[in-house]
Amino acid sequence: MTGTSYLRLDRLALIGITAAAAFALLLSPVRAQQGFPNPEDAASALAAAVKTGTSRAMLKVLGRDAADIIESGDDVADANARERFLSAYDARHSIQADGNKNATLILGPDDFPFPIPLVNNSDGWSFDAAAGRREILYRRIGRNELAAIQTSLAYVDAQNEYAEKDRGEGVGTYAQRIVSRPGKTDGLFWRDDKDPSPLGELAAQAAAEGYKVGEQAEPYHGYYYRILKAQGSDAPGGALNYVVKGKMIGGFALVAWPAEYGNSGVMTFLVNHAGTVYQKDLGPRTDFLAKRMIVFDPDHTWKKVDPTNP
């Protein structure tokens, strides 16, 4: 299986109502969670709160237990999730009751069950964010990790396409940057309709989703990406510097890590010019370790990923 079949951006657009609970809220003091006389009123209050876009309004409805699941570390993805929730809610919504103590908000034409259940207690009907927390994180993390794998494979294809032409340093030279410097084609992306860049289509898809392509690192579907310019002794072929006399001709690699460990993702991914993706859970120090990673060096603790069954 090559990475080519994973270049299609419709596969990178891993969105859906499953992300609806990933609201981008700022952590701020929250008043007691509001109770409602019936589930319908609770659902209406949630929709109204989401429309305001304010943390206080949304957390008042969802409760303080939602505070650690509502901000993924990817502001664009969070904003898109709010839009998808409102779109699904406006398209169709209903309440599925389970006795007189539990209920589920059903969203959209596909009758998607909102992952945070409604419960009836002494204060009335309210959302039980604690009960829905695990499901929300599982869905978000799974979605982002799959996107990271596919984006890594798209990177491999982009590098191979880049090296097919002379971009100023000769055929067979790989890009050492993801975004080209102004007026240059020294990266995988540049703005020129007459000469589309290898990552142009991906960048266009990202822009359509609200992401901005620039020099400053920003998470894409919950993950950061950085080019690696060498490999270590544990890599196939042993230690090797991909850059020779200033040109990256010996190969290429990439590391992808979650913007917020345990929230936007868990696994860190590595990929090299062979198109083999590896994954490892680096734990709570993921951000610290990934930012200091300078070589592609997957030892026995890194596991190969099957892109068809990640």
State the pTM of this model: 0.80
Given a cut of 80, is residue 65 above it in pLDDT? yes
Identify whether residues 63 and 24 lie together within a single domain. Answer: yes
Q: Looking at residue 68, what is its pLDDT?
A: 73
280 falls within a domain:
yes
Backbone φ and ψ for 276, nearest 5 degrees, come out as: -90, 125
Q: Are strands 102-107 and 112-113 parallel, antiparallel or unpaired?
A: antiparallel
Given a cut of 50, is residue 101 above it in pLDDT? yes
- Average pLDDT of the segment spanning 281-306: 97
- What DSSP assignment string belongs to 59-75? HHHH-GGGTTTS--S-H
Q: Residue 96's beta-bridge partner residues? A: 104
Helices 55-62 and 39-52 pack at an angle, to 10 degrees, of 160
DSSP state of 168: S
**Cα-based angle 113, 118, 119 (whole degrees, multiple of 5):** 145
Residue 125 CB: number of other CB atoms within 10 A? 23
Give the up-direction half-sphere exposure of residue 182: CA atoms within 13 A in the CB hemisphere.
Answer: 0
Who wins on pLDDT, 74 or 38? 38
- Average pLDDT of the segment spanning 182-210: 85
Q: Which runs of E-coded beta strand occur in 108-211?
A: 112-113, 118-121, 124-127, 177-179, 187-189
Identify whether residues 152 and 238 lie together within a single domain. Answer: yes
For residue 212, give both structure tokens. Answer: 């901005």
Identify whether residues 169 and 296 lie together within a single domain. Answer: yes
Given a cut of 50, is residue 23 above it in pLDDT? no
Given a cut of 70, is residue 98 above it in pLDDT? yes
The number of domains in the chain is: 2
Across the chain, mean pLDDT equals: 87
Q: Looking at residue 55, what is its pLDDT?
A: 79
For residue 181, give both structure tokens. Answer: 């410097």
Q: Looking at residue 175, what is its pLDDT?
A: 96
Domain hosting residue 174, numbered range: 140-304
Identify whether residues 155 and 132 lie together within a single domain. Answer: no
268, 290 Cβ separation under 8 angstroms: yes
Q: pLDDT above 90 covers what percent of the chain?
A: 67
Q: Looking at residue 21, what is its pLDDT?
A: 42
Identify whether residues 125 and 153 lie together within a single domain. Answer: no
35 falls within a domain:
yes
Q: Looking at residue 142, what is its pLDDT?
A: 96
Identify whether residues 158 and 59 lie together within a single domain. Answer: no
310 falls within a domain:
no
Q: Which runs of E-coded beta strand occur in 66-205?
A: 93-98, 102-107, 112-113, 118-121, 124-127, 177-179, 187-189
End of a domain among 87, 115, 136?
Answer: 136
Q: Looking at residue 100, what is its pLDDT?
A: 93
Identify whether residues 149 and 280 lie together within a single domain. Answer: yes
66, 55 Cβ separation under 8 angstroms: no
Residue 32 CB: number of other CB atoms within 10 A? 9
- Average pLDDT of the segment spanning 71-77: 86
309 falls within a domain:
no
Identify whether residues 132 and 241 lie together within a single domain. Answer: no
282 falls within a domain:
yes
Identify whether residues 268 and 228 lie together within a single domain. Answer: yes
End of a domain among 107, 136, 165?
Answer: 136
DSSP state of 70: S
Given a cut of 80, is residue 45 above it in pLDDT? yes
150 falls within a domain:
yes
End of a domain among 121, 136, 151?
Answer: 136
Identify whether residues 169 and 108 lie together within a single domain. Answer: no
Identify whether residues 246 and 188 lie together within a single domain. Answer: yes
Average the pLDDT over each of 2-11, 121-130, 260-269, 285-294 and give the range with the smallest value. 2-11
Q: Looking at residue 9, what is its pLDDT?
A: 33
220 falls within a domain:
yes
98 falls within a domain:
yes
Secondary structure tally for the chain: helices H, strands E: 7, 16
Q: pLDDT above 70 covers what percent of the chain?
A: 88
Identify whether residues 281 and 206 lie together within a single domain. Answer: yes
Q: What is the pLDDT of residues 234-263, one digit of tens each?
A: 999 999 999 999 999 999 999 999 999 999
Q: Looking at residue 14, what is its pLDDT?
A: 34
